[in-house]
C-alpha cells in the first residue's frame, strides 16, 4: 500500500490517512485501558482499524459504549484542531481541508450501525438493555451480515455500467467476512457472557439490585432459559405449572452451576428441585 502511494504520488495523503486511523484506534485503546481492559493487538486498515480486546461480552454495556465512542471522538477533536489552525492561516488550507474531510469520512464510516464498526457495537449494546443478550448479538449480527451483503452486491452491480466500485467492494467483503466470522463465534461469545455472570451477579447482590423475573414452565431446558438472560440484570427464575402455581423460585446461579459444573444444559428446569 505504501509503495503504491509512492508510485501514484499520494504518499502524503496515505500517511495522513494512516495517522488519523492510528489516533482513532489509540482513542479506543486509551478508553479501554482506563477501564482496566486487556488489549491483545491493534490492527490498522486503509479504511479503519480494529482494537482487539479480551473483554468480549464480559463487561457492562456502558463500558463497551464508552470504548466504542472514544474512536470517533478523536476524529471530532482532530477536526476542531484543524479548523482552528486553518482559521489562523498558519498552514496551507488545502491540506487541512483534506485532513478534515478524511476525519469526517472515517468517523461517519465507523459510526454506521454495522458490526464490527463502532456504530454496530453501540447499537448492540443498546439492544442488550431491552432484550436478552443472546438475541441482541444474534439480531445485530444478522442485520450487519445483511447490510454487508447488500454493500458487496451494490459494488458488483456496477460491472456492466461504470465498472466495479473497488473501494466499496473491498469494504463490503471485509464486513461480510467479519460478520460471518462473528456469526460462527456467537456460541463462544455467549458462553463468555455466561461465564462472567457469577462475578457480575456477586457485584449486583453486594450493592443491592432489583431482580428481573423470568417465568417458565418446568419442561423448559436450562440452556433455553439462559438465553433469556439480559445484560446487567440479575434474574430469579419462577417455575410454574399449567394452572399458574409457582413450584419453585431459582436464583440464576443455580442454572449456571447446572450448565457449567453439572454439564447438563439439556435437562429440564423441573429436575433442579425434584
Query: 25, 63, 86, 252: which is the annotated catalytic residue?
Result: 25
pLDDT band for 5, please (50, 70, 90 cuts): very low
The pLDDT, as a whole number, for residue 72 is: 94
Tens digits of residue pLDDT in 6-55? 344 467 777 888 889 889 999 999 999 999 998 887 777 655 667 778 88
Contact criterion met (CB below 8 Å) for 252 and 197: yes
Contact criterion met (CB below 8 Å) for 96 and 85: yes
* Boundaries of every domain in the chain: 1-111, 116-195, 207-272
**Is-catalytic flag, 25?**
yes
Mean pLDDT on 55-62:
89
- Exposure string of 146-164, with b = 16+ CB inside 10 Å and e = fewer, is ebbeebbeebeeeeeeeee
Q: Which of 38-42, 182-186, 201-205 has the highest mean pLDDT?
A: 182-186
Mean pLDDT on 177-191:
93
pTM of the model: 0.86
Contacts of 181 (CB under 8 A, 6+ apart): none
The pLDDT, as a whole number, for residue 57 is: 85
Q: Counting Cβ atoms within 10 Å, is residue 220 exposed (0-12), middle (13-18) or buried (19+)? A: middle
Tens digits of residue pLDDT in 97-123? 889 999 999 999 899 999 989 999 999
d(CA 132, CA 134): 6
- 207-272 folds as CBS-domain (3.10.580)
Of 145-149, 205-209, 255-259, the range with the lowest mean pLDDT is 205-209
**Residue 180 in this model has a pLDDT that exceeds 90:** yes
Q: Chain centroid to CA 59: how far?
A: 12
Mean pLDDT on 207-234:
90
**Residue 125 in this model has a pLDDT that exceeds 70:** yes
Mean pLDDT of the chain: 85
Preceding peptide of 197 cis, ω within 30°: no
Amino acid at each position: 500500500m505504501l509503495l503504491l502511494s509512492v508510485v501514484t504520488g499520494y504518499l502524503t495523503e496515505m500517511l495522513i490517512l494512516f495517522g488519523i486511523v492510528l489516533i482513532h484506534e489509540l482513542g479506543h485503546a486509551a478508553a479501554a485501558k482506563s477501564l482496566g481492559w486487556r488489549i491483545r493487538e491493534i490492527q490498522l486498515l486503509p479504511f479503519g482499524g480494529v482494537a482487539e480486546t479480551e473483554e468480549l461480552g464480559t463487561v457492562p454495556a456502558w463500558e463497551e459504549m464508552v470504548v466504542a465512542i472514544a474512536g470517533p471522538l478523536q476524529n471530532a477533536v482532530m477536526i476542531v484542531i484543524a479548523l482552528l489552525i486553518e482559521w489562523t492561516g498558519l498552514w496551507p488550507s488545502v491540506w487541512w481541508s483534506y485532513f478534515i474531510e478524511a476525519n469526517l469520512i472515517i468517523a461517519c464510516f465507523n459510526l454506521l450501525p454495522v458490526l464490527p464498526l463502532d456504530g454496530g457495537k453501540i447499537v448492540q449494546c443498546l439492544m442488550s438493555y431491552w432484550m436478552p443478550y443472546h438475541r441482541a448479538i444474534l439480531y445485530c449480527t444478522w442485520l450487519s451480515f445483511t447490510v454487508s451483503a447488500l454493500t458487496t452486491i451494490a459494488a458488483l452491480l456496477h460491472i456492466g455500467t461504470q465498472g466495479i466500485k473497488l473501494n466499496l467492494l473491498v469494504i463490503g467483503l471485509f464486513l461480510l467476512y467479519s460478520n460471518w466470522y462473528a456469526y460462527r463465534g456467537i456460541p463462544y461469545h455467549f458462553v463468555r457472557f455466561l461465564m462472567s455472570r457469577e462475578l457480575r451477579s456477586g457485584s449486583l447482590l453486594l450493592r443491592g439490585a432489583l431482580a428481573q423475573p423470568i417465568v417458565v414452565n418446568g419442561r423448559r431446558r436450562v440452556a433455553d432459559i439462559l438465553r433469556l438472560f439480559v445484560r446487567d440484570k440479575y434474574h430469579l427464575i419462577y417455575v410454574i405449572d399449567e394452572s399458574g402455581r409457582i413450584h419453585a423460585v431459582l436464583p440464576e446461579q443455580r442454572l449456571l452451576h447446572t450448565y457449567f459444573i453439572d454439564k447438563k444444559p439439556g435437562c429440564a428446569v423441573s429436575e433442579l428441585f425434584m
